[in-house]
Amino acid sequence: MIRLATAVVLLALAAAPALAAETGGCGAFAWPIEPDKALLAAAPMAESGARLDLPRPAAVRLVLTDAAKAGFELPPGKPAAPSAPAGVLRFEARTGLYQITTTERVWIDAAQAGRLLDEVGFSGVLDCEGARKSVRFQLQDGPATIQISGSPSRTLGIAVTALPK
């Protein structure tokens, strides 16, 4: 009985660091997301495939479609079922670092110049009201597409911010 109790305690202690990485509220993100949360709270609705005008940070509540109909530029980095909620958001990028924050835990790809870009930063928490995931991508001048897949719902808030140099 004592061995079983000891094993349970040790197992709980081993799992604690993994759990802590996804809790702690909005302050647990690796970078400030309060401006993104404010944008997301007031985001207008937009259909998947919409173009976002980015003279300054912006957000939309994206209405997703089936992954098979999403119009991905390239296959997502993490494949989803053909009927899973997915979508795309397009914008004209200027060279620099971009932060993409969403209201749900989803797979986020950035596509530009015929390839998927590697993220340069990732942060996510489960207990932040209004934001769940934030990633950063280095973009170049030209058209860019944000691809969303694996969404648990048919709408998704997404904020896009070009970070200061």
Average pLDDT, the chain: 89
> 125 with 103: CB under 8 angstroms?
no
Each residue's pLDDT tens digit, 102-139 = 999 999 999 999 999 999 999 999 999 999 999 999 99
CA 85, CA 66: separation in Å to the nearest integer? 5
* Residue spans per domain, the chain: 23-162
> 94 with 141: CB under 8 angstroms?
yes
pTM of the model: 0.85
pLDDT of residue 80: 85
Going through 51-154 in order, the beta strands assigned E by DSSP cover: 51-52, 58-63, 65-66, 85-93, 96-102, 107-112, 115-116, 121-124, 133-139, 142-149
pLDDT of residue 11: 41
CATH fold label, 23-162:
Jelly Rolls (2.60.120)
pLDDT of residue 19: 39
Each residue's pLDDT tens digit, 79-109 = 888 999 999 999 999 999 999 999 999 999 9
